[in-house]
Amino acid sequence: MIKRGDLKKIARIRLREVKALYKSGLFDGAAYLCGYVVEASLKAMICKNLKISKYPDEGEVKHIFTSHDFDRLLLLAGLQKEISLRKDKNLFTNWSLLTKWKPEKRYEIGIYKKEDVKDLLKALEEKRSGFFTWIKKIW
């Protein structure tokens, strides 16, 4: 099991790695790590929502919590309504872009271009409506 605080650190580190890969022109890797920024953030929020210190990805509940499905993680985090009913529609638009990520894409080469990663970074870090910008305020 991983601690909630460590999940937050992982999300921040993965974002720094995304930027380094982006600057190096390694767009597939950068896009792939964007997904892990979202996943680690949501898992930290799930810990907060459930009032637990470590993410429950072992034992009897493993099948519930071991997931890369952002919509499932959003539900477990208790944020499904908040993200879809928020007055700021740009957050939902950014979320929708990020949910196109799938872990299986790690086996594909040349699928992401510079502009794709730029859009993913914007979806994460947009000043008012970026997913990561938003979730850091509440996790």
Q: Which domain holds residue 34?
A: 4-136
Query: What pLDDT digit, counting tens, does each position of 50-66 carry?
Result: 999 999 878 787 777 88
Task: Over range 88-117, report the average pLDDT.
Answer: 91
Tell me: pLDDT of 138 over 80.
Answer: yes
Query: What pLDDT digit, counting tens, does each position of 77-94 carry?
Result: 999 988 887 777 999 999
Number of domains into which the chain is organized: 1
Indicate the pTM of the whole model. Answer: 0.92
Confidence of residue 99 (pLDDT cuts 50, 70, 90): very high
**How many other C-beta atoms lie within 10 A of the C-beta of residue 49?**
15
**In this structure, what are the phi and psi dihedrals at residue 87, rounded to the nearest 5 degrees?**
-65, -30
pLDDT on residue 72: 93
- Nearest Cα residue to 40 out of 62, 75, 81, 12: 12
How buried is residue 16: exposed, middle or buried, by Cβ count under 10 Å (0-12/13-18/19+)?
exposed
Give me the CATH number covering residue 86. 1.20.120.330
pLDDT on residue 111: 94
**How many other C-beta atoms lie within 10 A of the C-beta of residue 29?**
17
Tell me: pLDDT of 108 over 90.
Answer: no
pLDDT on residue 60: 84
